[in-house]
A and B are shown apart, each in its own frame.
Chain A
Amino acid sequence: MGLGAVVQMDEPNAAGTVPAVIEPEVALVRSFPGLRRISDAVQEFEDVLRDFVAMADPETAKKVSRIMAQTREVEPSVTVIGQIKAGKTSLVNAMIGAPGLLPTDVNPWTSVVTSLHINTPSPELNVKAKFKFFDGAEWDKLVSNGGRIGQLAARAGADDELEKLRLQVVEMRDKAQARLGRKFEMLLGTEHRYGVVDDSLLRRYVCVGDEEAGTQDQGRFTDITKSADLWIERADIPTMLCVRDTPGVNDTFMMREQITINAVRDSRSCIVVLSAHQALTTMDMALIRLIAHRQSREIIIYVNRIDELSDPATQVPEIHKSILETLEKNNAPQDIDIIFGSAHWANAVLMGQIDEMTDDSTESAINWTRAAFADKVESWSAEQLVWHASGVPALLEALGQRMYEGPVHETLQKAARQSLNLAQSLDVVDQVRILEQDGSLNRTMTPADLDSELVRIEKDCTDKLVAMTNTVCKDFTNRIDQSYERFLERATSSLIEHLQTHGEDATWHYSPLGLRMLLSSSYQVVLKKMHGIAAEVNADAARKIAELYGKTFAITVEGFKIEVPVVSYIPPPINLGQTIALDLQVGWWKGWWQRRRGYKAFAQDFYNLIRAETDPIINDLKTIQIGLFRERTQGTLKDFLQEQRELLMSALASSEISMEEMKELFGVNAWEDRQECLATIMDELSDYAG
């Protein structure tokens, strides 16, 4: 029984025009308003810049073109993470509308982080697929960093897991060596490039090898492949987009987990894929905790496999409620979007095979569409209904929304401010010429004077930024050090109290939640302060530059101001969510407890243990994260000042071209057009700069 038939039965179509066999290409038009909005916004913005290029002098035009090129490079990206066999790869295929593009299997299969670049031009000519191999050092690092593995989810037996991981890596290396022979050493650290993407190619690089499958080439390079990048054109997806597929966590082959954790660091938006029949396990919670320090807007939960529920209409609300409760109990970020669906359904629609789904799957689809799209059952085709039931359109819509509000908005804002400053400077030069014509210009600055003024502003602003950053960071460091000490004291005294009341045999627990929340809130405070400082110093710099314009040309232009640069995105710290010994209620934590004997040993060892566990987190916050602050804020200021220096210097130089000469260059009417044009462009750019 196919769903197509069922829906037709339920659909008393007045005109009777529903064809017996619906061609999927006709019945389903994939449209993504959320993504469309991104492409429209970028397109409109580019139109403004194109006008700007057309009217600007060659020097400025070159600068605007550069800004335009940067805008075009915006490739919002999303990483799909989850446990093994949650259906990540199927979901990725469904999202990009290419079922079967990435190979899937009934057993854990994906073992490489694969980035699909949709509609993005490949950085190298004719390269459509690129596979990077591990180098020797990276491989060793995977093993030595494995100390944190298994602890991720507070899993039992974590102490044995490290050893297991080591053995797995050694075995994998041996296997690869046997398979690749003497080429093995040569391949490490290199990459392979191809001009086409096809199934057998992917199977050689990203799938687990299966000795008995008969195809000896399958998985040939998988063991040594670190990452895969594929460039794909999809006409129905209106934007550039990067979707990253990852190996699942909680695999008994733990190497894959380590690869995924490393990939999560690089991603701003994440889709966490859960399996409907077992929503939100401790493992999923650990993943969410790992990414929890980004804004909740950047996390979407997709509950896959509702096709395997017998009664999704009743069960989905139940699962939804349970997920919300678990998230709340575990202090996860609030307002995470939760979308239910089935990648299996989406792929069935895309392949035109909804009539070939199993009876159970069809029953569930009918059950779910009746509940979720009751008002559409009459008017939509079976394909449309199943496609929407799959949750994939809703997911892409939510994703588009987030990207539009997040990275796309930021990029356009930044580009608009840069362009606006270019336009301002052109405008100033034009005003200078008008004044000069009137004979009322009082040129007071030589290029050398201007240079020394600029050097002074550069130094003042940079010094101010560094000084303020130092103060804030010092406060931050003190604050977390104090919280940390207080936490250690409280925990140790709780332990001693426990020992006095219950003796050594009862196991003691102490939640690290308090420490984590203290660190997290301290981080949020310092983040806000850093943005505040950057905004203040940048605004100050912009004001000083504006003053310098006035001083250089001894003019006041009404409404003249320099746009303040945007500080680029600062990635959140990832290891705040890392599991520490105290999270673990089984496994080695218990082992540690049982191995300790003697009253005093507990307290001292405990103190040392927690210190050793948490020191890396504290140090990471103090060095890496603060380093990121400095790098991003100082980088932004430096770029801005450099840009303004060039503009002022060239304005000073070009203002020496007289109005007469200008009119000769452009023609009298063109000159006036130019003035009008510039005013319009500045108006339009202001809309994006806000």
Chain B
Amino acid sequence: MPMNRKPRIALMGEFSSGKSTLCNVLLGARPLLEKVTATQLPPVWLSYGSSPAYSVGLDGRKWALDVADLASVALDGTEHVRIFMKSDLLRYCDLIDMPGISDPSMSSEVWERMTHLADGVLWCTPANQAWRQSESGVWSTFPATMRRNALLLVTRFDKIVGDSDRTKVLKRVGGETEGLFAGFFPMALTQAMAAGDDEAKWIDSGAQAFSTALFELIHRVTDEGVPDKNAPAIPVSEADAPDPDAAKSLIAEQFEQLMVIRNTPVVKILPRRVQAKGDRIMRTERPTAEQGETVVSFSDWPDDEVAPAPKEVDMRSVMNQSKGS
């Protein structure tokens, strides 16, 4: 049985490794402080909606919070900050922006006590100092089962100049992190943020490949997840309807395309900026005989039933076709 709430994706990595920039790219907005030095914030849990923000103390008590005063939240005594915003991406998942590891001014407990909430992890490692022992050490303390729900983002990839150097870095990172993540993605986050309608720039920044993988991850986590007994206070339904005023995220836009592909029984040529019709966000309906074969399925097949082999479809060629139109 799939999860009855949105998956929570934690953003992790050393401080100043690009987590906040990633968060902004994901959300298509800038709710969080982005600084060259370490950001001294407790974990920030972002969900879809317009409810007022609050902070949760270590004692579990909630305090009203003005998002403009985010920087003034006390690190001591605050477990996490909860912010609601209307960003397209948050219709698919919640994000937990964790404080950076290896910050001498912040105890690791600050993020450690929140890690159990995460269903998936996006780990940022800067390309020019990629995958150091301090990261490897922390990641080794996570349960091994988390690895297939985790993506490694090699950020600041545009700072590596030249193809041969880029290949070398990826070769090393790939070798060092073999089996530790579901995949690793070179990313130029600032480029992705500035891509706008420039498709080539979007692909070049690495954001497209990453978005596709994140999309898969979110659905896998949902499908394989266990229903949460402590169902979240926010009803899932609130997030379902697209809101024209919501912050537009390029990643969410790509999700919608992928969503359409997923939910379409036959391969159709789709315009790039097609809007998903209807409100099916997280789950595809079981294909019926009338609908014919499904392109890709992520429904949870009962163990005793043999799932029909989905027809092989090369996702990239589908995307390329859609781009061409």
The answer to the question of A604 belonging to the interface, with a C-beta cut-off of 8 Å to chain B, is no
Cβ-defined contact, B108 with A585, below 8 A: yes
Please indicate the chain B residues that have their CB under 8 angstroms from the CB of A277 in the complex: 16, 36, 126, 128, 156
Task: List residues 108-155 of chain B with CB under 8 A from any CB of chain A.
Answer: 108-109, 112, 126, 128-134, 136-138, 140-141
Provide the A269-308 mask, 1 if CB < 8 A to any CB of B, else 0. 0000001111111111100000000000000000001001
Provide the B159-201 mask, 1 if CB < 8 A to any CB of A, else 0. 1110001001100100010000000000000000000000000
Cβ-defined contact, B140 with A105, below 8 A: no
The answer to the question of A182 belonging to the interface, with a C-beta cut-off of 8 Å to chain B, is no
State whether A279 and B132 are in contact (beta carbons under 8 Å apart), knowing that A106-B160, A326-B105, A330-B104 are contacts in the complex: no
The answer to the question of A202 belonging to the interface, with a C-beta cut-off of 8 Å to chain B, is no
In angstroms, how far is the closest chain B Cβ from the Cβ of A26? 28
Bound form: Cα–Cα A531–B3 in Å: 71
Bound form: Cα–Cα A112–B222 in Å: 49
Bound form: Cα–Cα A42–B260 in Å: 79
Cβ-defined contact, A83 with B38, below 8 A: no
Please indicate the chain A residues that have their CB under 8 angstroms from the CB of B129 in the complex: 83-86, 275, 278
Provide the A375-408 mask, 1 if CB < 8 A to any CB of B, else 0. 0000000000000000000000000000000000
In angstroms, how far is the closest chain A Cβ from the Cβ of B70? 18
Cβ-defined contact, B168 with A586, below 8 A: no
Pick the contact of A308: B102, B141, B159 (CB < 8 A). Answer: B159
Cβ-defined contact, B141 with A281, below 8 A: no
State whether A156 and B104 are in contact (beta carbons under 8 Å apart), knowing that A84-B129, A106-B169, A252-B176 are contacts in the complex: no
The answer to the question of A3 belonging to the interface, with a C-beta cut-off of 8 Å to chain B, is no
**Interface-located stretch among A70-78, A157-165, A185-193, A675-683:** A157-165
In angstroms, how far is the closest chain A Cβ from the Cβ of B99? 13
Cβ-defined contact, A585 with B104, below 8 A: no
Bound form: Cα–Cα A326–B103 in Å: 9
The answer to the question of B37 belonging to the interface, with a C-beta cut-off of 8 Å to chain A, is yes
Indicate the member of A107, A251, A254, A326 with the most B CB atoms within 10 Å.
Answer: A107
Bound form: Cα–Cα A467–B172 in Å: 60
The answer to the question of A144 belonging to the interface, with a C-beta cut-off of 8 Å to chain B, is no
Indicate the member of B104, B128, B141, B161 with the most A CB atoms within 10 Å.
Answer: B104
Minimal Cβ-Cβ distance residue in B for A357? B161
Q: Tally the A-B contacts, defined by beta carbons under 8 Å.
A: 115
Bound form: Cα–Cα A257–B137 in Å: 15
The answer to the question of A250 belonging to the interface, with a C-beta cut-off of 8 Å to chain B, is yes
State whether A319 and B132 are in contact (beta carbons under 8 Å apart), knowing that A107-B169, A157-B141, A587-B141 are contacts in the complex: no
Pick the contact of A318: B35, B105, B112 (CB < 8 A). Answer: B35
In angstroms, how far is the closest chain A Cβ from the Cβ of B258? 32
Please indicate the chain B residues that have their CB under 8 angstroms from the CB of A157 in the complex: 136-138, 140-141
Bound form: Cα–Cα A107–B159 in Å: 13
Cβ-defined contact, A278 with B17, below 8 A: yes
State whether A155 and B169 are in contact (beta carbons under 8 Å apart), knowing that A85-B129, A326-B105 are contacts in the complex: no
Please indicate the chain A residues that have their CB under 8 angstroms from the CB of B130 in the complex: 85
Please indicate the chain B residues that have their CB under 8 angstroms from the CB of A279 in the complex: 16, 37
Please indicate the chain A residues that have their CB under 8 angstroms from the CB of B108 in the complex: 156, 585-586
Cβ-defined contact, A282 with B102, below 8 A: yes
Indicate the member of B38, B109, B132, B141 with the most A CB atoms within 10 Å.
Answer: B132
Task: List residues 581-612 of chain A with CB under 8 A from any CB of chain B.
Answer: 585-587
Minimal Cβ-Cβ distance residue in A for B15? A278
The answer to the question of A437 belonging to the interface, with a C-beta cut-off of 8 Å to chain B, is no
Cβ-defined contact, B15 with A585, below 8 A: no
Bound form: Cα–Cα A285–B103 in Å: 10
Bound form: Cα–Cα A498–B108 in Å: 20
Please indicate the chain A residues that have their CB under 8 angstroms from the CB of B160 in the complex: 106
Minimal Cβ-Cβ distance residue in A for B132? A250
Q: How many chain B residues touch the partner (CB < 8 A)?
A: 38
The answer to the question of B14 belonging to the interface, with a C-beta cut-off of 8 Å to chain A, is yes
Cβ-defined contact, A281 with B104, below 8 A: yes
The answer to the question of A219 belonging to the interface, with a C-beta cut-off of 8 Å to chain B, is no
- If over half of A's interface residues share one DSSP class (helix, strand or loop), that class is named, otherwise mixed; here it is loop
State whether A250 and B134 are in contact (beta carbons under 8 Å apart), knowing that A277-B36, A587-B141 are contacts in the complex: yes
Pick the contact of A107: B16, B37, B126, B172 (CB < 8 A). Answer: B172
Provide the A79-97 mask, 1 if CB < 8 A to any CB of B, else 0. 0000111100000000000
Pick the contact of A585: B107, B126, B131 (CB < 8 A). Answer: B107
- If over half of B's interface residues share one DSSP class (helix, strand or loop), that class is named, otherwise mixed; here it is loop
Cβ-defined contact, B176 with A326, below 8 A: no
In angstroms, how far is the closest chain A Cβ from the Cβ of B226? 24
In angstroms, how far is the closest chain A Cβ from the Cβ of B86? 29
Bound form: Cα–Cα A309–B259 in Å: 37
Indicate the member of A157, A251, A309 with the most B CB atoms within 10 Å.
Answer: A157
Cβ-defined contact, A280 with B112, below 8 A: no
Please indicate the chain B residues that have their CB under 8 angstroms from the CB of A284 in the complex: 104
Minimal Cβ-Cβ distance residue in B for A322? B37
Cβ-defined contact, A250 with B133, below 8 A: yes
Please indicate the chain A residues that have their CB under 8 angstroms from the CB of B14 in the complex: 278, 281
Provide the A313-327 mask, 1 if CB < 8 A to any CB of B, else 0. 001001101100110
Bound form: Cα–Cα A71–B127 in Å: 47
Cβ-defined contact, A251 with B133, below 8 A: yes
The answer to the question of A358 belonging to the interface, with a C-beta cut-off of 8 Å to chain B, is yes
The answer to the question of A459 belonging to the interface, with a C-beta cut-off of 8 Å to chain B, is no
Bound form: Cα–Cα A23–B298 in Å: 64
Please indicate the chain B residues that have their CB under 8 angstroms from the CB of A573 in the complex: none
The answer to the question of A150 belonging to the interface, with a C-beta cut-off of 8 Å to chain B, is yes
In angstroms, how far is the closest chain A Cβ from the Cβ of B179? 14
Minimal Cβ-Cβ distance residue in B for A288? B104
The answer to the question of A329 belonging to the interface, with a C-beta cut-off of 8 Å to chain B, is yes
Task: List residues 123-161 of chain A with CB under 8 A from any CB of chain B.
Answer: 150, 153, 155-158, 160-161
In angstroms, how far is the closest chain B Cβ from the Cβ of A108? 8
Please indicate the chain A residues that have their CB under 8 angstroms from the CB of B140 in the complex: 156-157, 160
Cβ-defined contact, A319 with B133, below 8 A: no
State whether A161 and B17 are in contact (beta carbons under 8 Å apart), knowing that A279-B37, A358-B161 are contacts in the complex: no
Bound form: Cα–Cα A623–B134 in Å: 33
Which residues on B are within 8 Å of A, measured CB to CB? 14-17, 35-38, 102-105, 107-109, 112, 126, 128-134, 136-138, 140-141, 156, 159-161, 165, 168-169, 172, 176
A selection of 14 A-B contacts at a CB cut-off of 8 Å is A85-B128, A106-B128, A250-B133, A251-B133, A252-B131, A252-B132, A277-B36, A283-B134, A309-B36, A315-B36, A319-B36, A330-B104, A585-B108, A587-B141
